Structure 1
Amino acid sequence: MTARFDLYPAIDLKDGQCVRLLRGEMDQATAFNPDPADQAAKFMAMGFDRLHVVDLNGAFAGNSANGDAVRAILKATQVPVQLGGGIRTRAQIDAWLEAGVARVILGTAALRDPELVKSAARDLPDSIVVGIDAKDGYVAVEGWAETSDMKAVELAKIFEGCGVAGLVVTDISRDGMKTGVNVEFTSEMAEAVSIPVIASGGVASLDDIQNLMNAGSRHAISGSILGRALYDGDIDPAAAIAAVKGGL
């Protein structure tokens, strides 16, 4: 079991609202809270000590589209927030870090401009996370609308040793489906690099969390993003938090 395993409740932003998607399809969005800042405060009240925020519109547009909602979340919470979606330039990275975001997640930029990611990671310690979203093992970008010919594992290896704080690894086929996390794929990614790997996509139960915590030999998985199962009540927040503290 890894020495530290973090849970990241997810707030996905679409048109200013907190939503969840199925397999990343924008037309398959379910709105859970029209006030993302309120949702962030609720997660903090549940005892979670960090947040994962994604600007879905921004991921497709290539720039921040839900900036007001993100700033409201930052104002409403006192826990570290990691933000992704449409952040593809150094100016955008710097602006969000200055606004109070703890870590910036770079996905499309990681594939299109790896040198940007490496430079930012070297200059900004513990501030840059690479998001690797995969379809059948290959990297998907532009809000998951395009699948590249780059294998997810190979992209991860590019960032070994440059100071990237973590990898958020998503199996798109399971995202929002509550069909169980892809432990095998996530473990493969964790074994390939020494960068901490955070699992995303399909986490449905406490068993998934436990399986992730127990996976990996050379490098353990360091955390999990909690999405639809948390919103739907399939994962009890208190039980999940107790699990990562050794109380399952």
Structure 2
Amino acid sequence: MRIYPTMELQNGRCVTLDKGRLNDAMIWHVDPVETARSWAAAGAEWMHLTDFDAIEGRDTNAALVEEIIRSAEIPVQLAGGMRTREQVTHWIDKGAGRIVIGTLAAWDPNLVKELAKLYPDQIVLAVDVWQGLVMTEGWRTQSAFTPEAFIDAFAGIPFAAILITDIDSDMEDVEAQLGLISGLAQHSRTPIVASGVVRKADDVSRLAYIPNIAGALVGRALFRKTVDLKEALDMAQAAHEPVAQFQ
């Protein structure tokens, strides 16, 4: 299982949000570029970056996002406001390792299928769930799709992964989140990346043993220092190492 240290940007600063409320951000007084480099130095193979300004249609963070992509020393999985073909291709051309798409998949599924085939293993489908239905537009609009139906609509498409967020229990109810995520992991043939589940190191071990969970985003816990990145990386790696059989 892969750990994705996660950074969220708003107005050029690292932030975390409670249930996606953009006007109620907790600001972390760290340098985004140096933080990304520190994650690479700790042994992370990827990082995840969400641009909250892009979700609102602003390019405030564009130069900073480019700098992080250039200097992070690990591939960047980029999310936020990817609502046109041009935005997706722009950021792939700028060097983003993967692009996360949610709202556009609900608006124009055929375009997203086309993009996934054009950029195999570079497109991640975001499935944000609230009260049993998929949310779009930065968790503001409830669609008519159940997460299972949404995933089924893209069966056989070569996504790099499907990113699952349970908004109902975001940062509150780990057991409920694990129930939803493990159910969708069983339902999907595409590997699942879990978001918002890791609060402490033990959560990494619990996730690692759920079939078809390929990764986990870890953001707020890193900034709060309730999770040490090196420890989380070691635990994720150790979870699937072969164990010698007793003779």
Same fold, TM-score > 0.5, yes or no: yes
> C-alpha root-mean-square deviation of aligned residues, in Å?
1.7
Inter-partner Cα distance in structure 2 for 1:189 and 1:102: 25
Structure 1 stretches of 4+ with a deviation exceeding 4 A read none
Distance 1:33 1:174, change over 3 A: farther
Q: Matched residues, percent identical?
A: 33
Q: In structure 1, what is the equivalent of residue 221 of structure 2? A: 229
How do 1:156-167 residues align onto structure 2 when only pairs under 5 Å count?
156-167=151-162
**2:221 is paired with a residue of what secondary structure?**
helix
Q: In structure 1, what is the equivalent of residue 195 of structure 2? A: 200
Q: In structure 2, what is the equivalent of residue 39 of structure 1? A: 35
Residue 174 (structure 1) shift: 3.5
Q: In structure 2, what is the equivalent of residue 169 of structure 1? A: 164
Q: Which has the larger radius of gyration?
A: 2
Q: In structure 2, what is the equivalent of residue 11 of structure 1? A: 7
Structure (1 or 2) with the greater strand fraction: 1
Q: How many residues matched? A: 239
Inter-partner Cα distance in structure 1 for 2:38 and 2:169: 25
Q: In structure 2, what is the equivalent of residue 87 of structure 1? A: 82
Q: In structure 2, what is the equivalent of residue 130 of structure 1? A: 125
Inter-partner Cα distance in structure 2 for 1:6 and 1:205: 16
- The answer for unaligned runs of 5 or more in structure 1 is none
Q: In structure 1, what is the equivalent of residue 230 of structure 2? A: 238
Inter-partner Cα distance in structure 2 for 1:6 and 1:210: 12
Q: In structure 2, what is the equivalent of residue 151 of structure 1? A: 146
- The answer for unaligned runs of 5 or more in structure 2 is 241-247
**2:233 is paired with a residue of what secondary structure?**
helix
Q: In structure 2, what is the equivalent of residue 186 of structure 1? A: 181
Q: Is 2:113 the counterpart of 1:118?
A: yes
What residue identity is the alignment partner of 1:135? W
For 1:15-59, what per-residue CA distance to the aligned partner results, in whole angstroms no more than 9, with x for missing partners? 111111111111221111453212211222222111101111211
Residue 213 (structure 1) shift: 1.0
Within the candidate set 197, 208, 211, 1:213 is matched to: 208
Inter-partner Cα distance in structure 1 for 2:184 and 2:239: 27
Contact 2:125 2:161 in 1 (8 A): yes
Residue 64 (structure 1) shift: 4.3
Q: In structure 1, what is the equivalent of residue 245 of structure 2? A: none
Contact 1:178 1:228 in 2 (8 A): no
Inter-partner Cα distance in structure 2 for 1:151 and 1:12: 26
TM-score where L is the length of structure 2: 0.91
Contact 1:55 1:65 in 2 (8 A): no
